[in-house]
Structure formats: C-alpha cells, structure tokens
Amino acid sequence: MAHTEQDILAGLAEIVSEETGVDTSEVTADKTFTDDLDVDSLSMMTIAVTAEEKFGAKIPDEEVKNLKTVGDAVNYIKANQAA
C-alpha cells in the first residue's frame, strides 16, 4: 500500500515536530530543513531513520544531505518506498 504525497508530508511533519519542537503546521513542502526548520545534521539523521521506519523507504546516509527541503524528502520517500 503506497503512501500518497499528503500522507508522507503529514507523517514527516509529525516526525520533524517530534524531533525539533516546531509546530506541524510549519512543516510545509517549501521549507528547508536547515534554515527554515532549524534541523541540524544530527536531527536530520534521526528524521531520516524515523521516516525509513514509518514509510518503508530506505534513505542511505549519502542521500540524506541531498534532501534540502521537506518537499525533497517527500519526493524521495514517494519514489523509493517499498512497493
């Protein structure tokens, strides 16, 4: 059962909120993790691993640094989720 973009965005928002304390409503596709959401590299690792678990999509460490915006992460997860 593939997750839709909305599903993934909502799920990511929850993960980011849990990790950083920002409100879920702040976590929109256009936001950058580093500048807009104050996510440091350690938090980014946590978010990636938690998202892997939640959506069944492998996000290799070398890919994590390419995910600049929340939208990037949504698209990556959507394209790589377990069929």
Q: Which residues are catalytic?
A: 40
18 binds another protein (CB under 8 A): yes
Task: Please give the residues from 49 up to 78 whose contact with another protein meets the rule CB under 8 A.
Answer: 49
Distance from C-alpha of 47 to C-alpha of 39, rounded to nearest angstrom: 9
Scanning 2-10, 18-26, 28-36, 67-75 for contacts with another protein by CB under 8 A, the matching segment is 18-26
Tokens of residue 56, six digits: 């069944």
Q: Which is nearer to another protein, 71 or 80 (CB)?
A: 80
Task: Map residue 12 onto helix, strand or coil.
Answer: helix
